Structure 1
Amino acid sequence: MEDRGSVRQWWMLGVLCLATLVVSLDITILNVALPTISESLHADTAELQWIVDSYSLAFAGAMLPAGLLGDRYGRKRILLAGLVVFLAASAWSALAGSMGSLIAARTLMGGGAAIVMPLTLAFVAATFADADRPKAIAVITAAIAGGLPLGPIVGGFLLEHFYWGSVFWINVPVVAVAVVAGAVLLRESVNPAAPRLDAVGAVLVVGAVVALVYGFISAPEVGWGSVRTVGLLAGSVLLLALFLWWERRVTDRLVDPGLFRNARFTWGTMAAVAVSVALFGVLFVVPQFLQAVQGNNAFGTGLRLVPLMGGLLVAGGVAGPLDRLIGTKLAVAGGLVVIAVGLVVLSRAAPDTGYGVTATGLGLAGLGVGAAMAPAMDAVTAEVGDEAGAGAAVTNTLRQVGGALAIAVLGSAMSAVYVDRLGSALTGLPESAADAARESVMAAAAVASGMGEQGAGLQAAAGSAFADAMAVVMLSCAAVVLLGAVLCLCFLPARAAGTVPGAASGRPVTA
C-alpha cells in the first residue's frame, strides 16, 4: 500500500471517479435515446431491448473473472485495458449503421465496463489507509451512483442538440482523458498470491450469471412459465451447481468461499444489493412518470432527477465521519431506513401531484443511498485485503444481478397493476390502439395524442393507472430495504475486529 497520505493518491482517486462516472452514466443515458435510435435505424421492440440487455449481460457476466485478472496481472494494466475497450466500443456504437452492429458494440462496451467497475474499488482498497479509505469510498460511491441519474440529464441535452450517436461520442473524450491520466498517475497494484484464472470455473459462473439475468429480463415479455424462461433459469441453477462442485475440487478458485464467512463482507454486500434494488427501482419508474404522466421532455425529466443526485452527494460527504462515530451497523441501517422513507413518499405521487412530492422523495432516497452505500462498500473493501479485485467483483456482480432481477420482477408486477387499473378506459378503442396502450404508459400517451379530444380520457386513465403501479413498485422496494436494515442491525458488525472507535490514525489497533 504505497503513496499513502500523499496528494497523489487523491489525484488517483479523481481518475478512478472519472472512469466509474462514465461507465455508470452509460447505464441510463441510452434510455432517453431509444425512441430516436428506433426511428433512425428502423429497430423493432426486440432489437431495442437487446441494445439494453446486451450491455447488462456482458456487464454482469464478465466482472468476476475481470476482478481476479486484475489481482493477478496488475490492476492498473487491466483497468486501462478495460477503459480502452470501453472507448473503442463507444466509438463503434456511435458509428453503427445497423442494429446488429450497435448490439455487438454495446456487448463489447458492457465487457469493458465489467473490467472497470470492480478494479476501481480494488484500487481504493489497495491505495488508501484505513483513516482515509471511508472518505475515498464515499467519493467513488457518489461517482458510481451519481452517474445513474446524470445519464438522462446528459442524454436529454445531447438529443435536443445533436444526433443519437452523441450519447456514445460523449464517452470518447472523457475516457481518453481517464486513460492518459491513469497511465501517468496510477501505480501498479498486484496481489502476488493471486491464483491463476480458473478457466472452467469462469465459463461456468459467467454462463450461470448470464442465463439468470437474461431469464429474468425476458420473462416479462415471454411469460414466466414459457419454455425460454424456465429453460434459462433451470440452466442457470445447473451451471451454478456445477460451478460450486468444480470450485470444491480445484486449488485456484475463482471465488474464495472464505469471503462469505466474514460477516462485514457478507452483510455489507447484502446492504449494497438492497440499495441497488431501490436505486434501480426508482430509475426504472420515476423517469417514466415524469415524462409520460406529467408531460416533461427528456431533458426536463433529467433535471427533475437532480434531487436524487444532490441527496447522494450531501450524504456521501458525511458518511465517513458518521461511520466512524456510530459504527457501520447503525450508519448502514439508518441509511436504508431513510431510503425507505423516500420510497414511501414517492409512492404518494399522483398525476396531479406537484413536483414537490417527487423532489422530496428523490432527495430522501438520495440521502439514504449516500448514507448506506459508502459505509457498506467501505466494510466490504476493508475486509478483502490483497484480494481486492476479486472481492469487489463479487460484490458488484451481486449488485448488478440483484438490480436486474428486481427490474424484471418489479416490471412484471407494475405491468400487471397498470393493465388492471387501465381496465374500462380501453372500451371502444380499436384493438390495435388498446393493445398498444396496454404495453406501456409511454405507448398509451402516444395513442392518446393521436385521438384529439377523445384522447384526454385515455391519457388521464393511463396516468392514474401508472401512478398506482408505481406505488406498488416503490412500496415493494421500501420493503426490501427495510428488510435489509433489520438484517444489518442483527448481523452486520459495527466495526472491524480489533479497531477502537475514533482511533486517530484510522488504522487497526489492539483493543
Structure 2
Amino acid sequence: MDRRTRVLVVAIVVSFIAFLDGAVINVALPAIAAELGGGLMLQQWAVDAYLLTLGSLILLAGSLSDSFGRLRIIRIGLYGFAATSVLCALAPNGVVLVIARALQGAAGALLVPSSLALIISTFPHAEQGRAIGRWTAWTTAAFLVGPLFGGVLVDLVSWRLVFWINVLPIAAVLLVMRALGRDEAHPGRERIDWLGAGLGVVGLGGTVFALIESSRLGWGSIGVLLPLVVGILALVAFVLWERRAPQPMLPLSLFAARNFAAGNLATFFIYASFALGPFVMTIFLQETGGFPATFAGLATLPPTVMLVLLGSWFGALSTRFGPRIFMTTGPIVVAVGYLLTVSVQRDLNYWAQFLPGILVVGLGMAMTVAPLTSAILGAVDPARAGIGSAVNNAVARIAGLVAIASIGVIVGSQLDVDGYRRAAVAVAAFLVVGGVISWIGIRNPPLGAGAASAGTPTAAPVPPSSDSSPSANE
C-alpha cells in the first residue's frame, strides 16, 4: 500500500468513525433514557453536549491542523475519541454520559477537519477530485448504515455497544498511520485564537444550558437566567473580539459577500430543522409509536437515501439555473413533508401517516443541500474556500445545537402525539423562514462565473444526523 492509498484509507476511516457515531445516537436515545433516567432532558443533553464542543471547536481545530500538522492532530483526536467512547459506554449515570459526550465532541472536532485536509495536502490537484469523491462516498455510507446498525445493536445487545464499536476501527487506523510517520509543525504557523475559542464555548454553553434547563427550572430561576446572561455576553464579546483579533478564528470579512452572509443565515434555520426533525421523529416512533430501535432506524432512512440518489442531480441543475430557486423551494418542500406527518395518531400507522411525508422530506432535502453549499462557497474567494467551508459547517452544527436545546420550549416535557405535532409545525416554520431568506438574500451568479460545481468537493453536510457531518475545512 503506497502512501497516498494509506492517507486515503486513514481519512475515510477517521471520518467514518466520527460520522457513524453521530448517525447511530438518535436510535439509542430512548434506551439510554430508559436505563439511566432523565427523560427528554437527558436525551437533549446526550446530543447537545457533543454538538456544543464540536460546533464551537471545529474552526479552532482547523487552525490547529494547519499549524501543528494533520497527522499529529488526527492521532490526538483518535486517542481522545477512543477514550471518550469507552467512557460513554461505561457511563453509570446521565451526568457522566453527558460529560463524556462533550469530551467526545471535542475529540471529533479534531478529526473532522483534519481528515479532508490530509487528502488536500497529500494528493496533487489533478487527483484531488477523485480522492475526495471516494472519501465522500464512504463517509456518506455512515449515514446510510448508521441508523439501521445502531438500531440492531440497541435491540439485540445494548445501547452501550453503540459506543464500544468505535474502539476497534480506531485501533486499526492507528496501525495504518504508523507507516505515515509524523509530520512537522508549520514553521510559519499563525497564532491560535484561544480567546475566541473560549468565548465561543462559554457563549454557546451558557445559552444552551438555559434553553434546556428552562423546562425544568423555569425562566425565572437564577440557574437559568445567570447562564443565559453569561452566554449572551460571551457571544457578544466573541463577535467584538473576532473583529479585532490578529488571526481570528471566524473571519467576519467573509460575511461581506452577500451570498455568503445570506446563505449562512438560511443555513441556520434550514439545518436547525434538519437536526430537530429527525431527533423528534426517531424518539417519537420508539417511545410513542412502539417501534423497536431497528425499525425506527429503517423508518427514518428514506430521506438519506433520496439525498444520496438525487443530490448530485439537483446540484447540477443549480449550476445550470442558479441556486436561488432550489434554496427557496427545497426547504418549503421539506416543510410540506413535515406538515403531512401532523396527521399522526396515537395508534400509529406508519405507511399512511409518516411515509408520505418522509418521502417529501427526502425530495426537499435533495433539492436544498448541494445548491446551498454551491451558493455559499461560490461567494468565497477560492483561496479561502477552506475557512468558508468550516464556517458553514460550524453554523450548521450550532443551528442543530440550539434547535435541540429548544425542544423543551416547543413540546414540553415529553414527545407524545401533541408534542410531536408541535415539533413538526416548528420544524416546518424554520424551513419556511430559511426558504424566504434564500429568496430575498441569494443572488444567482452570472452564468459560468463562480458557483461551485456540483461535482466539486465542498462542505455539503449530510443532514439526517444530529451530531456531525462531512466538513471540508482544509
Interval of TM-score (by shorter of Structure 1 and Structure 2): 0.7 to 0.9
**Cross-structure match for 1:369:** 365
Secondary structure in 2 aligned to 1:57?
helix
Deviation of 1:258 after TM superposition, in Å, equals 0.9
Deviation of 1:254 after TM superposition, in Å, equals 2.1
**Cross-structure match for 1:83:** 78
Task: Kindly indicate whether structure 1 or structure 2 has the higher relative contact order, using CA contacts under 8 Å at least 6 residues apart.
Answer: 2
**Cross-structure match for 1:479:** 429
Query: Which of 396, 399, 423 is residue 399 of structure 1 equivalent to?
Result: 396
Query: Which of 355, 358, 362 is residue 354 of structure 2 equivalent to?
Result: 358
**Cross-structure match for 2:414:** 440
1:56 correspondence with 2:51: yes
**Cross-structure match for 1:312:** 307
Deviation of 1:189 after TM superposition, in Å, equals 12
Q: Matches of 1:267 and 1:128 in 2, distance apart?
A: 33
Q: 1:276 to 1:314 in 2, by over 3 A?
A: same
Residues 264-322 of structure 1, C-alpha deviations (whole Å, 9 max, x = no match): 32233233333322222221221233223332212111111121221221222324322
Structure 1 window deviating more from structure 2 (95-104 vs 22-31): it is 95-104
Q: Matches of 1:316 and 1:401 in 2, distance apart?
A: 23
Q: Which amino acid aligns with 2:354?
A: T
**Cross-structure match for 1:444:** none
Uncovered stretches (5+) of structure 2, i.e. residues with no partner: 458-474
Following superposition of structure 1 onto structure 2, how do residues 25-40 of structure 1 map, counting pairs within 5 Å? Answer: 25-27=20-22, 29-34=24-29, 36-37=31-32
Q: Matches of 1:177 and 1:388 in 2, distance apart?
A: 32
Deviation of 1:235 after TM superposition, in Å, equals 0.9
Q: Which amino acid aligns with 2:429?
A: A
Query: Which of 11, 17, 26 is residue 22 of structure 1 equivalent to?
Result: 17
Deviation of 1:261 after TM superposition, in Å, equals 0.9
Deviation of 1:260 after TM superposition, in Å, equals 0.8
Q: Matches of 1:57 and 1:296 in 2, distance apart?
A: 29
Q: Matches of 1:186 and 1:308 in 2, distance apart?
A: 41
Query: Which of 438, 458, 462 is residue 488 of structure 1 equivalent to?
Result: 438
Q: 1:480 to 1:53 in 2, by over 3 A?
A: closer
Q: Matches of 2:235 and 2:32 in 1, distance apart?
A: 36
**Cross-structure match for 1:251:** 246
**Cross-structure match for 2:419:** 469
CA contact (8 A) 1:346 1:361 kept: yes
Deviation of 1:43 after TM superposition, in Å, equals 5.1
Secondary structure in 1 aligned to 2:358?
helix
Secondary structure in 2 aligned to 1:251?
coil
Residues 81-130 of structure 1, C-alpha deviations (whole Å, 9 max, x = no match): 32332123213333455656544432221111122334456568877979
Q: Which amino acid aligns with 1:494?
A: N
CA contact (8 A) 1:335 1:372 kept: yes
Secondary structure in 1 aligned to 2:78?
helix
Residues 340-394 of structure 1, C-alpha deviations (whole Å, 9 max, x = no match): 2222222233344442441222122123223312232344445264445543332
CA contact (8 A) 1:57 1:214 kept: no
Q: 1:502 to 1:487 in 2, by over 3 A?
A: closer
Give the TM-score of the pair, scaled to structure 1. Answer: 0.74
Deviation of 1:187 after TM superposition, in Å, equals 12
Residues 374-423 of structure 1, C-alpha deviations (whole Å, 9 max, x = no match): 232344445264445543332222222212222233432222xxxxxxxx
Q: Matches of 1:66 and 1:235 in 2, distance apart?
A: 24
Query: Which of 235, 239, 246 is residue 240 of structure 1 equivalent to?
Result: 235
**Cross-structure match for 1:297:** 292
Q: Matches of 1:170 and 1:75 in 2, distance apart?
A: 24
Q: Which amino acid aligns with 1:368?
A: G
Query: Which of 191, 204, 208 is residue 209 of structure 1 equivalent to?
Result: 204
**Cross-structure match for 1:343:** 338
Structure 1 window deviating more from structure 2 (73-82 vs 472-481): it is 73-82
Q: 1:176 to 1:385 in 2, by over 3 A?
A: farther
Deviation of 1:492 after TM superposition, in Å, equals 1.9
Deviation of 1:166 after TM superposition, in Å, equals 0.9
Q: 1:37 to 1:250 in 2, by over 3 A?
A: closer
Q: Matches of 1:9 and 1:344 in 2, distance apart?
A: 47
Q: Matches of 2:374 and 2:182 in 1, distance apart?
A: 21
Q: Which amino acid aligns with 1:397?
A: A
Deviation of 1:471 after TM superposition, in Å, equals 2.7
Q: Which amino acid aligns with 1:411?
A: G
Secondary structure in 2 aligned to 1:440?
coil
CA contact (8 A) 2:46 2:97 kept: yes
Q: Matches of 1:379 and 1:192 in 2, distance apart?
A: 35
1:198 correspondence with 2:193: yes
**Cross-structure match for 1:73:** 68
**Cross-structure match for 1:330:** 325
Q: Matches of 2:185 and 2:390 in 1, distance apart?
A: 15
Structure 1 window deviating more from structure 2 (60-69 vs 42-51): it is 42-51
Q: Matches of 2:43 and 2:422 in 1, distance apart?
A: 26
1:285 correspondence with 2:235: no
Residues 148-177 of structure 1, C-alpha deviations (whole Å, 9 max, x = no match): 675442222012222332111222233445
CA contact (8 A) 2:377 2:451 kept: no
Deviation of 1:219 after TM superposition, in Å, equals 2.2
Q: Which amino acid aligns with 2:402?
A: L
1:114 correspondence with 2:106: no
RMSD: 4.1
Q: Matches of 1:225 and 1:281 in 2, distance apart?
A: 26
**Cross-structure match for 1:436:** none
1:225 correspondence with 2:220: yes
CA contact (8 A) 1:340 1:477 kept: yes
Secondary structure in 1 aligned to 2:406?
helix
Secondary structure in 2 aligned to 1:83?
helix
CA contact (8 A) 1:76 1:189 kept: no
Q: Matches of 2:4 and 2:340 in 1, distance apart?
A: 40
Q: Matches of 2:26 and 2:283 in 1, distance apart?
A: 10
Q: 1:504 to 1:63 in 2, by over 3 A?
A: closer
**Cross-structure match for 2:158:** 163
**Cross-structure match for 2:472:** none
